């Protein structure tokens, strides 16, 4: 078996999740170099993947100048860095596994697509939900003709409360200008990618969207709420207490405490408290300084007349992704987190006119990593693709990933400008 050589650019949580495939499967994959602007993260990654110091780099330019040979580079930099790093890598003839979202605007997206073609390079986007047993089984059922032609797709994402607060209310994605994208791109480009991928017998045509910051505004704060949770009279009862979410529950430590600049397991509670008092992680959720929406709906119409809807709600009691797909011969309905969906197929047996139901169990023996096993599966599919040249049902080129991103850009234009967007104008 050919061992695939991989370089890691961006040694944060997401990058290491993908790179760790090499630790579980050393016969398949080897990390040959790491690059990060942070001295701490770079050194941690060097030790983690047993690399000599001359295989670590502080910039993509230094990595390229060193002439490191590899089969693909994992680009897991922050969203705003994707464009310059991806363009540099493509122009240096490197294949890329690119963390989503690709980039915050269509000009950069189409530049990356063109550079991939011009340089004959592969760009695989980390839409990891495609690779889960649930969504890949749904896609197979559609492709096998179980429900006929897709007519309607209803997708819902309810973002869990603690995750939403840590990432999009107090966290590094809470401000559209600073992080370079809105909630739809940062969190739900997964969902619009799924919509376009599941319905890719046709291209999306029109997009319209409404979205608001409806909950996390000053007028929703309880009377007497203070700027910091530590001295707030409502701290013990507030659902969004920084003390409860970030300090006591330690919801997403790799993200919350990154600004302290120390290995997580060496940070004391006292250091965390002091950090929270001087950062957004200690502020009232209703007065966090962010502007990201917490409630958005998107409608997409496709060229063949089918329709797709996405309902996105942040800070829910239960994190959940739901889908209901109606076809010309039946329906598919299920919840991702339940690892099960139902296929209802029309029947006219005897005197009955209704449907037969098939229940598809997508539970697998071991779901390694996050996103229902998708983080591990994308790497498994990628290794197989790089060895054989044959893509799986889930793995597609940058050309397919473009569609979901264009829908995101169109939805944000629609939300801000109050009009339906023709994707022909976006593509032009």
Please indicate whether residue 314 or residue 289 has the higher confidence score (pLDDT): 314
Backbone angles phi, psi at 293, to 5 degrees: -65, 155
Average pLDDT, the chain: 94
At 277, list the tokens.
């008092």
Q: What's the half-sphere exposure (Cβ side, CA atoms, 13 Å) at 410? A: 25
* pLDDT of amino acid 26: 97
| Model confidence pLDDT, tens digit, residues 229-255 | 999 999 999 999 999 999 999 989 989
| Model confidence pLDDT, tens digit, residues 205-227 | 999 999 999 999 999 999 999 99
Q: What does the DSSP assignment read for 115-146?
A: HHHHTT--EEE--GGGGSHHHHHHHHHHHTTT
List the domain boundaries for the chain: 4-126, 129-216+291-365+396-427, 229-287
Specify the pTM.
0.90
Once rounded to an integer, what is the mean pLDDT over residues 407-415?
96
Residue with tokens 């598809």: 360
C-alpha to C-alpha distance for 141 and 342, rounded to whole angstroms? 11
Burial class (CB in 10 A: 0-12, 13-18, 19+), 417: exposed
| Model confidence pLDDT, tens digit, residues 290-327 | 899 999 999 999 999 999 999 999 999 999 999 999 99
Backbone angles phi, psi at 99, to 5 degrees: -60, 145
C-alpha to C-alpha distance for 28 and 403, rounded to whole angstroms? 31
Homologous superfamily assigned to 129-216+291-365+396-427: Dihydrodipicolinate Reductase; domain 2 (3.30.360.10)
* pLDDT of amino acid 427: 87
C-alpha to C-alpha distance for 338 and 297, rounded to whole angstroms? 23
* pLDDT of amino acid 289: 85
Whole-angstrom distance between the N-terminal and C-terminal Cα of the chain? 44
C-alpha to C-alpha distance for 200 and 331, rounded to whole angstroms? 17
Residues near 89 by beta carbon (within 8 Å), at least 6 away in sequence: 9, 60, 64, 73, 75, 96
* pLDDT of amino acid 369: 57
Return the ∠ at Cα 11 (arms to 7 and 14), rounded to 5°: 100
Once rounded to an integer, what is the mean pLDDT over residues 161-186?
88
Please state, for a pLDDT cut of 70, what percent of the chain lies above it. 98
Pairing mode, if any, of strands 354-361 and 295-302? unpaired
* pLDDT of amino acid 176: 86
Check if the beta carbon of residue 350 is closer than 8 Å to that of residue 196.
no
Alpha carbon dihedral 67, 70, 74, 80, in 10-degree steps, equals 30
**Which CATH number describes the domain made up of 4-126?**
3.40.50.720
| Model confidence pLDDT, tens digit, residues 64-100 | 999 999 999 999 998 889 999 999 999 999 999 999 9
In 3-state terms the chain splits into helix, strand, coil percentages (rounded to 5) of: 45, 25, 35
In angstroms, how far is CA 225 from the centroid of its own chain?
33
* pLDDT of amino acid 367: 57
CA–CA distances in Å: residue 195 to residues 98, 188, 201, 275, 287: 20, 11, 11, 40, 34
**Position 112 confidence tier, pLDDT thresholds 50, 70, 90:** very high
Once rounded to an integer, what is the mean pLDDT over residues 414-426?
95
* pLDDT of amino acid 186: 87
C-alpha to C-alpha distance for 312 and 296, rounded to whole angstroms? 5
Pairing mode, if any, of strands 150-160 and 307-316? parallel
Predicted confidence (pLDDT) at residue 366 exceeds the cutoff of 70: no
* pLDDT of amino acid 348: 78
Residue with tokens 């390229």: 64
Burial class (CB in 10 A: 0-12, 13-18, 19+), 268: exposed
At 251, list the tokens.
């919801």
């Amino acid at each position: 078996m050919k061992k695939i050589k991989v370089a890691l650019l961006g040694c944060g949580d997401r990058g290491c999740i993908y790179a760790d495939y090499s630790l579980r499967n050393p016969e398949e994959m080897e990390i040959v170099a790491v690059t990060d602007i942070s001295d701490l993260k770079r050194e941690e990654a060097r030790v983690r993947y047993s690399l000599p110091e001359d295989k670590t780099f502080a910039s993509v330019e230094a990595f390229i100048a060193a002439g490191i040979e590899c089969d693909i580079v994992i680009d897991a930099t922050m969203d705003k860095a994707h464009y310059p790093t991806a363009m540099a890598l493509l122009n240096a003839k490197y294949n890329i596994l690119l963390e989503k979202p690709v980039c915050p605007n269509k000009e950069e997206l189409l530049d990356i697509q063109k550079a991939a073609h011009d340089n004959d390079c592969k760009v695989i986007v980390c839409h990891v939900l495609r690779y889960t047993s649930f969504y890949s089984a749904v896609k197979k059922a559609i492709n096998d003709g179980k429900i006929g032609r897709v007519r309607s797709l209803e997708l819902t994402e309810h973002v869990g409360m603690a995750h939403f607060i840590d990432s999009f209310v107090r966290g590094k994605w809470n401000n559209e200008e600073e992080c370079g994208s809105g909630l739809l791109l940062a969190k739900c480009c997964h969902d619009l990618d799924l919509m376009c991928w599941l319905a890719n017998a046709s291209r999306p045509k029109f997009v319209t969207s409404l979205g608001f910051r409806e909950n996390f505004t000053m007028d929703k704060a309880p009377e007497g709420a203070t700027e910091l949770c530590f001295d707030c009279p409502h701290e013990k009862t507030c659902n969004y207490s920084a003390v409860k979410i970030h300090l006591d529950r330690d919801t997403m430590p790799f993200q919350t405490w990154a600004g302290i600049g120390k290995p997580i397991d060496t940070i004391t509670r006292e250091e965390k408290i002091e950090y929270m008092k001087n950062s957004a992680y200690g502020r009232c959720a209703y007065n966090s300084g962010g502007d990201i929406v917490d409630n958005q709906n998107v409608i997409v119409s496709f060229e063949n007349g089918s329709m797709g809807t996405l309902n996105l709600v942040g800070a829910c009691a239960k994190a959940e992704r739901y889908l209901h797909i109606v076809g010309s011969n039946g329906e598919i309905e299920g919840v991702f987190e339940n690892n099960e969906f139902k296929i209802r197929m029309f029947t006219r047996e005897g005197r009955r006119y209704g449907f037969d139901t098939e229940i598809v169990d997508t539970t697998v023996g071991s779901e390694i990593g996050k996103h229902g096993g998708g983080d591990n599966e994308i790497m498994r599919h990628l290794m197989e693709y790089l060895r054989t040249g044959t893509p799986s049902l889930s793995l597609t080129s940058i050309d397919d990933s473009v569609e979901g991103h264009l829908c995101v850009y169109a939805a944000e234009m629609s939300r801000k400008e109050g009009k339906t967007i023709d994707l022909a104008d976006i593509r032009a």
